[in-house]
Amino acid sequence: MAYEFKLPDLGEGLTEGEIVKWLVKVGDSIEEGQAFVQVETDKAVIEIPSPRKGVVLQILAAEGGTVQVGQVILVIGEAGEKIEPAVEPREVGKPASVGVVGELEEAVEEVEERVPEKAPETPGVTVEVLATPAVRKLAREMKVDLGTIKRSGPHGRVTKEDVRKAAEEGEEKPPKAEIKAARKYDMYGFVERITLRGMRKTIARAMVKSKSTAPHVTAMDEADITPLVALREKEKERAAKQGIHLTYLPFVIKAVVAGLREHPYANASLDDENGEIILKKYFNIGVAVDTKDGLMVPVVKNAKEKSILKLADELTKLSEKARSRTIDLADLKGGTFTITNYGAVGGIYGSPIINYPEVAILGLGKILEKPVVVNGKIEIRKMLPISLSFDHRVVDGAEAARFMNTIIDHLEDPDLILLEG
């Protein structure tokens, strides 16, 4: 029996997906658990496995097309199995029709009935209308008067098509959509139009929701990370021998976790419906990754329990998966706080948008050499600009400043990070 595969909900709130690539074609044998299609969801390209063994009978969505959750995209069956579209209920004595889901249990239609119907155009005069019970039932459902419609069946019989046509003519048809030609130029020169879809559409939606829901405030400061730069330079070769690329991000994550432990309201979300602030007792740190399709935010789970080298290794692997769009959806969920490093592309300060429903996000600028007064003397120091955007409904300015001070203290004195464990 043929099986219709419908696009499942592959993520929270998913309503549609885009077919990136079919990994099978009609006629191919397919094993249970075998990936047969790549679908782009909110932020990842996912390979969907087959729920059963069989032969691909139909592919019902084109590559590059958008399909809705619950829409049939593939039909799997046995070799040589034919697929026939569902048909009108059969006449007496005819075998049941077979569709893609097997035999249809259809009610046998009765013989035509002659039932008087009152013709509205001639009050008091009745006419006989030939129609089967199934047609009469359809007319009742579609609120069509059988005595007022044109009949195309033999001997003046009313058919289902007559009923449907009458229902359509009786409806107030909406005006046809006006077709507009998309010009490839404006008054200043040529332009290119790119459809907002896929991950970029998801990012746009998320940014609007965050900015329209949480009142953003951004505080800025800088940390003297000269000792941290020296420590990283000393340890990066040792890390490289273990196949680990050591950056500053693992140290920043540890400093952030220390700050979140001291200032738990920055590690929270707001339940508007129940009027509650939810303080998270775990520390899942999201790190924004720049990909060709837009920013993705893989989440490092239980960051408090992981060493600097473990964090560095995990960050590298998550970033590679994000850029290749092979990351698991589970690695994009569950964050409690986010870090974005625009300094990697030369930025200094910014006002990052909160990764809703989190309540704060830390932005890192590029490390600058600056003259700084140290113990009454001017020295050239390595300075890290940082920007903290926070939801003012949950975090006040003073608390945000204290949180930033804790982060700065740990970045300026890496020994504190080691003591935190």
In this model, does residue 90 exceed pLDDT 70? Answer: no
Q: How far apart are CA 138 and CA 167, in angstroms?
A: 10
Q: What is the mean pLDDT of residues 207-218?
A: 92
Q: What is the mean pLDDT of residues 216-238?
A: 95
Tokens matching residue 420: 């935190």
Band (pLDDT 50/70/90 cuts) for residue 181 is low
Band (pLDDT 50/70/90 cuts) for residue 177 is low
Percent of the chain with pLDDT over 90: 52
Supply the pLDDT for residue 165: 83
- Please write the tens of the pLDDT for every residue from 287-316: 999 998 889 999 999 999 999 999 999 999
Supply the pLDDT for residue 302: 96
Question: Do the beta carbons of residue 78 and residue 36 sit within 8 Å?
Answer: no
Closest CA to 368 of 219, 224, 220: 224
Supply the pLDDT for residue 384: 97
Pick the catalytic residue: 155, 245, 263, 392?
Answer: 392
Band (pLDDT 50/70/90 cuts) for residue 11 is low
- Model pTM score: 0.67
Supply the pLDDT for residue 119: 42
In this model, does residue 405 exceed pLDDT 90? Answer: yes
Q: How far apart are CA 316 and CA 411, in angstroms?
A: 21
Other Cβ atoms less than 10 A from the Cβ of 135: the count is: 24
Tokens matching residue 412: 């300026």
Hey, what domains does the chain have and what are their CATH numbers? Answer: 3-83 (2.40.50.100), 113-165 (4.10.320.10), 215-420 (3.30.559.10)
Query: Poorest-confidence range of 155-169, 251-265, 315-329, 388-402?
Result: 155-169
Any idea what DSSP says for residue 342? G
Q: What is the mean pLDDT of residues 199-216?
A: 87
In this model, does residue 148 exceed pLDDT 60? Answer: yes
- Please write the tens of the pLDDT for every residue from 96-116: 333 333 333 333 344 444 445
Of the segments 29-33, 45-49, 90-94, 130-134, which one has the largest average pLDDT value? 29-33
Question: Do the beta carbons of residue 214 and residue 195 sit within 8 Å?
Answer: no
Question: Do the beta carbons of residue 293 and residue 325 sit within 8 Å?
Answer: yes
Supply the pLDDT for residue 210: 92
Q: How far apart are CA 108 and CA 135, in angstroms?
A: 13
Using alpha carbons, list the distances in angstroms from residue 309 to 95, 247, 301, 314, 344. 69, 10, 15, 9, 20
Question: Do the beta carbons of residue 62 and residue 37 sit within 8 Å?
Answer: no
Question: Do the beta carbons of residue 42 and residue 328 sit within 8 Å?
Answer: no
Q: How far apart are CA 255 and CA 248, in angstroms?
A: 11
Query: Poorest-confidence range of 124-138, 169-183, 306-320, 360-374?
Result: 169-183
Other Cβ atoms less than 10 A from the Cβ of 139: the count is: 22
Cα torsion 26, 32, 38, 40: sign: positive
- Please write the tens of the pLDDT for every residue from 348-403: 999 999 999 999 999 999 999 999 999 999 999 999 999 999 999 999 999 999 99
Supply the pLDDT for residue 328: 87
Tokens matching residue 296: 């993705």
Q: How far apart are CA 311 and CA 305, in angstroms?
A: 10
User: How does 393-404 read in b/e, with b if 16+ C-beta sit within 10 Å?
Assistant: ebbeeeebeebb
**Residue 155 is among the residues annotated as catalytic for this protein:** no
Tokens matching residue 102: 């097997």
Cα torsion 94, 96, 99, 104: sign: positive
